[in-house]
Structure 1
Amino acid sequence: MWWDIVPVSGDPEINPLPTLWFEEALDTMRQILNIPHVACQESAIHGLGHWYYRHQHRVSRILNAYILSGRGLRAGLHTYALNARKGGIL
């Protein structure tokens, strides 16, 4: 996936980008979860899972809202989102 090869991580020690950049990236992933396309949602979940270790609270809030919305149930992404909430994306 794109998140596995993009040279940007959620780690400010590796990527000295402004905090606003990280907030915008997380918000973009949150918005992608609203796109009614399984591949888009799966990619956003995957990206959030990668960012969990440096942005635990924000990632958990985003994925909790997604899980509670029920959008991933039909697409089979519910379990993937549950695991990504804790950084488990493999």
Structure 2
Amino acid sequence: MGRSPGRLLPRTGHHLGGSHNRHGGGRVTVNGTAFVGVDTVTFTDSAAATATAVFSPLSDTQLVATVPGGLAAGAGTITVHTCGGNSNAQAFTLT
């Protein structure tokens, strides 16, 4: 399965903010490419539970997401979902 011509898949590069409290509320700046038509931003925790974040797009290469509450502590990932597809999963840590 390939992607359709003209569709750019989003790609996360890195995020700013270090580790975040698993109870939520912290803000994370996510940098990447092709953040066009972002539908959702999801956080997946160390227990493989996924939560949707409230986010604000800043540009086609940057957005700010609020860490949702109720996630398990430990290593997790952030994924950006657009009309062009899903980004790579970017690592982050919840404490």
TM range (shorter): under 0.3
Higher strand share: 2
Q: Which has the larger radius of gyration?
A: 2
Normalised TM-score (structure 1): 0.26
Larger relative contact order, structure 1 or 2 (CA cutoff 8 Å, min sep 6): 2
Higher helix proportion: 1
Compute the TM-score of the two structures, normalised by the length of structure 2. 0.26
